[in-house]
Structure 1
């Protein structure tokens, strides 16, 4: 599949977002973040947070949940590291610059992988999801929260029109649900356990897969 987003473009986009990301996106994405964290905390153990960004979510995890956070943006991670030090988050084991499609972890390293607003912002979503599942333990959970494109109607038309600008900002607004369905069928090692609409107005979804 030919990528319509490239890694260098994503890095540059999030370097620009880093100074204002919390202010611009903090409230908008808060419920989705809190929902994924609640699920991850119920699972417990060792969690990989992919696209951890500025670390906005780190202090909301239970202190008994061990966290490794990775992101492609070094400026974002610098803010996350400052947050960990300032808040004394001893349960954060690691923060590292890493490509989500090529995670530098052994197979079966984590009880859950959390990816908040990541899948529509990577060059190869299917290969990225494959690597998320690879680092999960058998029975572990992949917990996503993401915008899912409308199938039809005015919102679909808007997403298609907005797509060229959105790509320059670092994401795809028209990402279809069918793409995840096709990925899961091709992968064959995951089972969908939940798809829940998230505010605002159901534009986002909490999506959970279990590694079978």
Structure 2
């Protein structure tokens, strides 16, 4: 065991602590709607954007208006907030490069989709859905084992195929929805 003098601070490194702090930082970044909107717009444009364009679109999304309907005061409020707070925060986290007028996403920003599971308001989380689907499959399989489920009309292999098909179709729908709901994929942010 190494010893340290009293004047040297000691730190305890725990496995994965850097990953956990980075993950916490990313969740903190994404917890703010205005930053998510800024990332969405930059991903959608796929080229460097000006601060003015970004402010207009973020203000329009926040106020649920068309860009042309945004007043100069609404635009300026968002512009100032982005310039003074949100863009410097994203730049310190290496998500964007910001030079006071243009914003460009970094390669780090491409990895943000891993941290987002956007669930529409009229939907249930996919984890809950799959848990329910597994419960239905378990009931069917238990019924087959206990010979409660009728096998005359539908054979055992048919029931197993039905359960498999439910999972397969659900997985395809899940993948399609996740791709559609990514930041930068739709006109309006999810």
TM-score relative to the length of structure 2: 0.25
With a CA cutoff of 8 Å and minimum separation of 6, indicate the structure with the bigger relative contact order: 2
Identify the structure with the greater helix proportion: 2
**Higher-strand-fraction structure:** 1
